[in-house]
Chain A
Amino acid sequence: MHRLLTDMPGSQMLMLGNEAIVRGALEAGVAVATTYPGTPSSEISLNCFQISRETDLYFQYSTNEKVAMEVAAAAANAGLRSLCVMKHVGLNVAADALMTLAYVGVTGAMVIVTADDPAMFSSQNEQDNRYYAKLSGLPMLEPGSVAEALPMMVEAFALSERLGEPVLFRTTTRINHSTAPVTLGTLPERRTRGDFHKDPFRYVTVPAVSRRLHVRLLENIARAAEISDASPLNAVTGSGPWGVICNGVSFGYVQDAVADLGLAERVRILRVGFSHPLPERRIIDFVAACEKVLVVEEGEPYLEEGARAAAQAAGLTVPIQGKGPALFSRLYEFDPALVRRRLAAYFGLTAPASAAVDISDLPELPQRPPNLCAGCSHRATFYAVKKAVEGLETIFPTDIGCYTLGFLPPLSMGDFLICMGSSIGTACGFAQSTDKKVVAFIGDSTFFHSGIAGLVNAMFNNHDITVVILDNGTTAMTGHQPHPGVDMKALNLEGYGRVSIEAVVRALGVGHVSVIRPFKVQKSIEAIREAVAYKGVSVVISQELCALYAKSLKRKRGKPFQVSDRCRNHRDCINQLGCPAFFLDGERVRIDADLCVGCAVCAQICPEHAIVPVREG
């Protein structure tokens, strides 16, 4: 049995924040869960996926976040409880659905998890999704700890049902990827079959309907504001003339700072866990009781602006500050010592100086950057493309996945990236605006997520681009989740369809389509050369299973290779491929047989043919 199904109410279990969120949804009776995977939210989906296989929870990996939200929205309008999970930038993809879903609302309950990533541990930006709550008008809850995530999730479903609106549940990486003891509640039966009651003048958002629905939304925001003002999720602790308003993980840092500085008698804290609509009356009462107020929040000055506006409306002149050169930055994440220093400075105290040792005399330490794995098919494809375009001036728009790492030397394949699916759209723009050959790289999962629309655009507008689809048979970067092109039977999973990338590409009428096996180096180079020479849209589908995924499927791996005495130390293998199975033993290049998966790409490019299979025995 899955550990998150443990039926022991009241007992404590060590859980990752993402597990606490799943358990909370289960305790709320969630019936339908949807996602597109993205760090730091991915473990939520993985656990839902596993649990769906042993219970009547329905879970799906959707094609992208917008589709995930649409599926969950319909389930919640059939009267069920649904959960929709994505990383912060995923909400940009789903925003079109979100904004009008807010007008329509839900008849069951729906919670949308947005996992923000301050400091960008694994993201392309650190946008603050609290503004999506303000933009859409939807309620937002934000847990301050792993332990709180579970009951707050139950609360989020109850709130959604009460208001008839989806609720946004915002986390940050330090909630998702922290672990702590969590207290279990009870697991109810879930209702898995609902019904949809037709009412086109309520659900079909033509202008005449939406004009009324917007009135409904504003009424709901007003109701939500009343609930927020009364909610125990917005609570004051401590007493004294100095005020701190904070949210999320900052609450923990503030509590520790107050304890470390011995300020328990002088500081009162308003923790905002229900952050949209803001609890304005609560904020006004809080500010009125303070001499000055510090706002501690990672990201944008959302609470600060809200608190200032509320105080101004109430005619209060108490100083309220948060972001500023001497205070907090909008950049990156906070840490306990930073909060302690800023809090002390704002209230005119001296914080103890940092006790960190002086490391200025350390030698420069070699970095340990992530690297494409030994035997990664992307390396082989990048090498083949590089050889195929030799002599041409090129631009390589790339996309989001492991293969983004191809932008690093020695491959250096990747020139432009803004978001999921952008490789093909930006390729169209570069091809139109420059005289260079444009070759776009996109992974299989990303192609389904948002690459297809770009390719249709390229066909219709007749752009001269080559698209290389790196098809490694899985969503590798986020932990090998399935996507519509994956062979689910190989995983012993029944009941799935399968979409062929090649059939999609051909159906669009692409003039030049080739399928390559990237470990066949020379053939691949020739096929890519032909594709690049084609005037118009050409597509190369490079098929080879992800090396890590193949290992997890227990696929037979190739015999490892070794460097024989024929080696003349050209070092093309190291300098052009940079496979991590290579190492230098003095001046000799060697191959770590434990890492080598026998892809034989290096053997094919060695000018002396010095790289040979390890002989048996």
Chain B
Amino acid sequence: METKRLIIVAVGGQGNLLASKVLGEAALAAGIPVRMSEIHGMAQRGGVVESALVFGEAQSTIISDGEADVVVGFEPLETLRALNKCNRHTTVITNLAPLPPFTVAIGRGTYPDIGLIQEKIRSKVGRLVALDAVALARSAGSVLAVNIVLLGALIRTGILPLDADTIRDTIRHRTKAAFVETNLKAFELGFNHSQPV
């Protein structure tokens, strides 16, 4: 099996670790080798959380610059910041709803234009899938489901060796019972707002 490398970047509190867990559990259930690592430097205090997931026979749990097959960004500025992980074939999936860092919120820095962010990414990588995951999560029933919306968009690309039904099953069994319906809706919305590669 060909090794596939995925980077997920998010701001603390966006549910990156749950998304990684769903993917990891789904891979385990499907018998696909998986290794993941995460760096959450003070995530609860507004920092960035980065997860690396490696599917297949590779032994490493981290991903070098330029070696991600797919990057999922839960926040557009953080997606742009993770561009060093991409090569010209990488697929990038990004949420378009910004969470300005505090430095920007108090006027000590400028948040890049959303159009410019997309243009920069699109010009450098294989493909960009951009969606307003916050709006989709809200219509699924909870703004907290941004992570699952993006999971849906990721699975639709078909880059990972995981099919939608395995993920749906994992959502049913591995996410909190009270959120399963919302999460399943969120997954479908994200799935439908993406396309296969």
Interface residues of A (CB under 8 A from B): 12, 14, 121-122, 145-146, 173-174, 177-181, 249, 251-253, 255-256, 259, 335-338, 354-359, 361-363, 365-373, 402, 405, 548, 574, 578, 580, 582-584
Contacts and interface: CB of A to CB of B under 8 A. Distances in A.
B88 A121 contact: no
Given A251-B59, A355-B67, A357-B66, A179 B102 contact: no
B197 interface: no
A337 B85 CA distance: 12
Interface of B: 11, 20-21, 24-25, 28, 33-42, 44-48, 57-67, 77-78, 80-81, 83-88, 90, 100-107, 109-112, 116, 120, 124-125
Given A179-B37, A373-B45, A366 B109 contact: yes
B78 A368 contact: yes
A14 B25 contact: yes
Contacts of A146: 35, 61
A356 B105 contact: no
9 contacts: A177-B38, A251-B59, A356-B66, A362-B120, A365-B81, A366-B77, A366-B100, A370-B45, A584-B106
A548 B44 contact: yes
Given A357-B83, A357-B125, A362-B83, A255 B59 contact: yes
A121 B50 CA distance: 12
Contacts of A251: 59
Contacts of A371: 45-46, 102
A121 B67 contact: no
B55 to A, nearest CB: 11
Contacts of B101: 366-369
A337 B45 contact: no
Nearest to B112: A363
Contact of A337 (B33, B65, B86): B65
A365 B66 contact: no
A252 B64 contact: no
A357 B81 contact: no
A229 B44 CA distance: 46
B109 A584 contact: no
Contact of A121 (B39, B83, B84, B107): B39
A443 to B, nearest CB: 15
B57 to A, nearest CB: 8
A173 B103 CA distance: 29
B42 A355 contact: no
B46 A574 contact: no
A535 to B, nearest CB: 37
Contacts of A582: 105-106
B35 A359 contact: no
Q: Shortest 8 CB-CB distances between A and B: which pairs? A: A356-B66, A337-B64, A366-B109, A252-B59, A355-B87, A370-B42, A583-B105, A368-B101
Contacts of A121: 39, 41
A231 B61 CA distance: 26
B83 A368 contact: no
A256 B58 contact: yes
A312 to B, nearest CB: 32
Contacts of A179: 20-21, 24, 35-38
A578 B107 CA distance: 11
Contacts of A259: 57-58
A363 B119 CA distance: 13
Contact of A174 (B20, B61, B81): B61
Contact of B103 (A180, A369, A405): A369
Contacts of A366: 77, 100-101, 103-104, 109-111
A373 B43 CA distance: 11
Given A252-B59, A357-B86, A365-B77, A180 B35 contact: yes
A181 B64 contact: no
A174 B109 CA distance: 33
Contact of A402 (B45, B61, B67, B78): B45
Given A336-B62, A366-B77, A369-B47, 13 more contacts: A177-B38, A253-B59, A335-B64, A337-B65, A356-B85, A357-B125, A366-B100, A367-B103, A367-B109, A370-B41, A370-B42, A373-B45, A580-B105
